[in-house]
Chain A
């Protein structure tokens, strides 16, 4: 599975959009981009996934570049409860999730 690169940490003001980048330059055609997050002392939580097209659900939007070498997770109106570690995972098979170090997102009041 392709390796991903994410910033170690990010800050965002409450109420603003949080944009979390992920680079996956070695992604292959049949690999999906998944995003999970882990709030302190809880299990990871699925957010969204995509293959080629941009995706949106009630939690977030996923923007994948045309060459698929990078993506951005957008939390449109961040709240304090969105403070968490966000993991970008690229995988061919949804069974084998390989978590990297992720981005620690802090939402500030």
Chain B
């Protein structure tokens, strides 16, 4: 299995809703990432988990809450989002999370906040 899967593919939520995005990989990778990509812009790093511990938080607002229950699974909990948070949310994983590592990306979850 050489892929990163993300669910759901699409999500529409209201500003008062709570929802979660899920990311899974079964490649034995020890680092996992969340990125946000607005339309016609490059991906921007949000969070990095290395060996199931949060190692990088790029000053992301607290309405985004990451969770790494185990080395194969990464969640992004969403609460009280704003319309400007509508974007493609990409998950990635890499074997070591350090040195010359390669990141493998999932297809993304397209989020619309109404």
* Chain A contact residues, CB within 8 Å of chain B: 32, 36, 38, 42-46, 49, 51, 85, 87, 93-102
Contacts and interface: CB of A to CB of B under 8 A. Distances in A.
Given A43-B90, A51-B100, A95-B101, 7 more contacts: A43-B105, A46-B102, A95-B56, A97-B103, A99-B43, A99-B44, A101-B42
B86 interface: no
- Chain A interface, >50% SS class: loop
A94 B92 contact: no
B42 A99 contact: yes
B100 A43 contact: no
25 contacts: A42-B108, A43-B90, A43-B92, A43-B106, A44-B43, A44-B105, A46-B102, A49-B100, A49-B102, A85-B42, A87-B42, A93-B98, A94-B94, A94-B96, A94-B99, A94-B100, A94-B102, A94-B103, A95-B94, A95-B98, A96-B45, A96-B56, A97-B103, A99-B43, A100-B42
B97 interface: yes
Interface in B35-65: 42-45, 48, 50, 55-56
Nearest to B49: A95
B31 interface: yes
Given A44-B105, A51-B100, A95 B43 contact: no
B28 to A, nearest CB: 17
